[in-house]
Amino acid sequence: MITIVDFDTQAKSLQVHENVNWREFHAEAGHLYWWDMITPTDDEKLVLSEHFHFHPLAIADCVGDIHYPKVDFYDTYLYMVIHSVDVDRSKVEGFAPKEIDIFLGKDYLVTFHKQETRSVVEVLRRSKEKTPIFEYGLDFVLYSILDILVSNYLPILESIEDELDSTEEMVFSNPTPQVLREILRLKRTLMRLKKTVFPQREVINHLARNEYQFVNPRTQVYFRDVYDMLYRMAEMTESFRDVSTALVETYLSTVSNRMNEIMKFLTIFATIFGPLTVIAGIYGMNFEFMPELHWKHGYLFALGLMVLSTLSLLLYFRHRKWL
């Protein structure tokens, strides 16, 4: 489906055309156009080549799936790939990245995405409510999309932070194999998030450094703000990765300590029963001439000797602070 937002720069009027047949649409001079293409049909994809005449390489990247952010500059437009994220508990990582392909020219902005994206939906809603974002130019519309897109990363990071806190408590209270699997899942999530956030930071940095003629110097300040926010999120991602690595080490250390405690208990248990086994073995021998064998108090003497050896070992262990 193609939605076109038409802004008349002279009359300061704005119209939103939905479900547009691009072959019947005609652009007018002095107007700014935002073309939003969501899950386009094969015929609608032809607008990229037959109407805008974009470079075949850019079209191939746009129609296909690019798993990394990028920005390319052509003579009359720039092309960029950005990824948004939404919380999705059905995914192993807990979030679902969505690719948005963007073309920015002198009087047009094209957004191409195969799934509904919250940032684009929100800016379209603002456009329908006649908010004055188009009065600042199409680069400001692009900023509005990117600002909301980057802000949507924050709930993901907050969710990961909460999971790390709860997992940390489980590491000390009940370090089961399930806890280790949860830590490794969080590490994979953070790694995937890092692969999205870090390159995206460089893409936004290009827009904020006055490298493209389609970005007004007045708008660069806003792109720098988006870059700063993305930079902080990248730092948070890296910090959380360090925490998850430390949790793995803590888990292994905790499990090792528990195993040492078990081995210590078994060793003390075996040490205590060693002398008892010796005493029982000596007096269990079937020799005929044993001094205590026919003694009336021989049984109590053997039991007393066992108790005495046990108490002696327990007192020794306590003195050495092994108990």
- Domain residue extents for the chain: 2-255, 263-319
pLDDT in tens, 144-177: 888 888 888 888 888 888 888 888 888 888 888 8
* Residue among 234, 240, 310 nearest 271 (CA): 310
* Residue among 17, 24, 22 nearest 3 (CA): 17
Q: Residue 210: its pLDDT value, please?
A: 66
Q: CA triplet 66, 96, 231: central angle to 5 degrees?
A: 75
Question: How far apart (Å, rounded) are the C-alpha atoms in residues 163 and 156?
Answer: 11
According to CATH, what is the number of the domain 2-255? 3.30.460.20
Q: Structure pTM?
A: 0.73
Question: How far apart (Å, rounded) are the C-alpha atoms in residues 93 and 121?
Answer: 24
Residue 323 is classified by DSSP as -
The top-level CATH class assigned to 263-319 is mainly alpha
Question: Which segment, 102-106, 123-127, 259-263, is predicted with the most confidence on average?
Answer: 102-106
In angstroms, how far is the first alpha carbon of the chain from the final one? Answer: 74
Place of tokens 């109590």: 300
| Cβ-based burial of 84 (10 A; exposed 0-12, middle 13-18, buried ≥19) | buried
DSSP string, 100-165: EEEEEESSEEEEEESS--HHHHHHHHHHHTT-GGGGG-HHHHHHHHHHHHHHTHHHHHHHHHHHHH
Query: Is the pLDDT assigned to residue 48 strictly greater than 80?
Result: yes
